[in-house]
Structure 1
Amino acid sequence: MIEKLKSSYYKKATFKKILTQSPKNDGVINIHRYDVSNVGDLYCAPHQYFEELKGKYSDIFLYKRTDKSDRNKLINDMTNNSLIIGGGGLLNRGSFTNQMKFYEKLAQNGKKTVLWGVGHNEKKASLYGKISSYDVNIENFGMAGTRDYSMPGEWLPCVSCLHELFDKSYSSTQEIGVVFHKKTIQQPHITSKFKDFPSTSNTIDLEALIQFIGNSEYIITDSYHAMYWSMLLGKKVAVIPNSSKFYDFKYNPVFTDFDNAIKQVKKASIKDGLLEECRELNRNFAKRAFSYLEI
């Protein structure tokens, strides 16, 4: 309880201090969820793929760190730089709502802002496939590309498609591979259902995960990025959704549950040309974004 109170205090104090500063756009910083325990969060940000952004990133959660130097870093980064926000499921998610509304306010106060490949991430199952608006007005940002095909803004799939690992050739050595979310891997009553199949999780390093996917003919997963990367590699994918984010990709996988996934995955199909489609969209967006940000 004490830690939660501290976190709430630090959050409010950090936001307040940033708002008291005169906004500058001297450089650029890429704000996203920099989580080394979730390979999707780690590699869904453009600073990983463009020389203009190399080393220019900050974790979206620094605002509530108990270490004052972490909070001061975020204050300096956000006061002095234009902002690239994303990627990842930062919209319609309670844990990110305050941050996103704060970035929206900064944008309205003169801060140059770019939403890059962000998407909705509503956890209420009753709203899956029914999201029609975001918890911020993306028109208030300087530029907005979202990974949700049917939503406002231009469609901009996750920038991780630019990773060089997708240029390699992979041979299928296993029929069905299972990729668990980092929370699911801790639930034996679920993982035991797939004990007869090769499996891994989104906690391993990117190269190992892409190799695992590449070696599989079919993929079963409850990880958004495992779904996306599997589709980029031309795999047949069945998804067990745990958020609204799975329902708004341009091309649908097979939706199922843990009990029926093994049978349902055989109904999945492949979307040819997806890798190049996603790459072209991100490269074109980058040209416009870098012009807008003057970098």
Structure 2
Amino acid sequence: MQLVNKKGVSFYSKWDAEPANIGDQLASPMLYFDFNNLGSRKILVVGGGAIPDALEVFPSEQHDARIVWGVGKSEPLVQSSKEKRKIIKRRIKSRLASLLELIFKAETRVVSSRELRTAASYLVPCPSCLHPVCTKPRGKGVAVVLNANDRVSGSADSVLNDLKRDFPGIELVTNSIDEVQLLSLFGRTDWIITNSYHMTYWSLLSGGKVTPIAHSSKIPGLLSLFDLPREAAATYRSGDSQQLGQAIRDALAQRRFIELEDPRGARARFCSLNETFASAVMQAVPDLEIQVKPSTAALRTQCHIAACI
């Protein structure tokens, strides 16, 4: 992953991941907030997206302040012994890094997470709650949107081709679509079946129906954020395209989905949590100025007004 430098602030996210992932591309706070470094301190902003090593990426001696914005984790639901050891090692490394930072005070840190079950100081949902897709008027169609990564979906193309033969009226795409295609898709559909975190997130916030299919801890954690039962997500083993395809077919046959009673209220609450965190960051890093971008300020106002109706 590459750093993006704007107005004296460095940003690290998974925006350039391969294969392309529209969720990762739209998860960075730099898309929704203007950051301006008024001093000489070196500032790093990490997030959003699933970045389990957010406290370790880029050594602390390279930066004077580290802001971790709404990051999450992704741990397999079905774990091999090797995966369990890897997760334990990662947790120990993260806690050790935090302890060393506390002892040596190498950099100022302001840490938030999109996960409820975390030791982060602030709960901050993905800042893409400020994206227009979350207020897009929904259509009437049905779509299956799969993660394009083979480690997640196995062969997404094979799954979609199999479904195409039996369900010709359903839109079948991956999350490698671009922003224009994303908005168009949401405008045509009301129900999305997906194994993508952000497709689930945006579907719920936009008032649509969604059938989440989980391979890792990400989607169950997201459902907890919405105060929805984690068991509402179907599950499958990471990379098992056969299990994934069957879960999709079961959802279509049973018309099983979830939706929010108050998506407007959820959007307003999530926008507010992001703004509150921005204020906390400015208090901790006085040389850093953060303002909601004009385009997202209009959306934020719309969210707050709608929540009061």
Output the TM-score relative to the length of structure 2: 0.66
Where does the alignment leave 5 or more consecutive residues of structure 1 unmatched? 1-10, 12-25, 55-78, 92-96
Given residue 89 of structure 1, which amino acid in structure 2 is its aligned partner?
A
Q: Which residue of 1 aligns with 2:258?
A: 268
Q: 1:31 to 1:186 in 2, by over 3 A?
A: same
Q: Which residue of 2 aligns with 1:113?
A: 66
Q: 1:208 to 1:53 in 2, by over 3 A?
A: farther
1:28 aligns to 2:9 (yes or no): yes
1:179 aligns to 2:148 (yes or no): no
Q: Which residue of 1 aligns with 2:238?
A: none
Given residue 114 of structure 1, which amino acid in structure 2 is its aligned partner?
I
Q: Which residue of 2 aligns with 1:238?
A: 211
Percentage of identical aligned residues = 26
Q: 1:265 to 1:159 in 2, by over 3 A?
A: farther
Mapped to 2, the partners of 1:248 and 1:271 lie a distance apart of 19
SS of aligned partner of 1:116: strand
Q: Which residue of 1 aligns with 2:163?
A: 194
Mapped to 1, the partners of 2:219 and 2:11 lie a distance apart of 24
Mapped to 2, the partners of 1:265 and 1:157 lie a distance apart of 28
Contact kept? 1:117, 1:147, Cα under 8 Å: yes
Output the TM-score relative to the length of structure 1: 0.68
Where does the alignment leave 5 or more consecutive residues of structure 2 unmatched? 2-6, 102-107, 236-243, 289-309
Given residue 158 of structure 1, which amino acid in structure 2 is its aligned partner?
C
- Residue 230 of structure 1 and its aligned partner are, at CA, apart by 0.8
Q: Which residue of 1 aligns with 2:184?
A: 211
- Residue 166 of structure 1 and its aligned partner are, at CA, apart by 3.0
| 1:36-51 paired onto structure 2 within 5 Å | 37-51=20-34
Contact kept? 2:133, 2:186, Cα under 8 Å: no
SS of aligned partner of 1:101: coil
Contact kept? 1:31, 1:86, Cα under 8 Å: yes
Which is further off, 190-199 or 133-142?
133-142
- Residue 263 of structure 1 and its aligned partner are, at CA, apart by 3.6
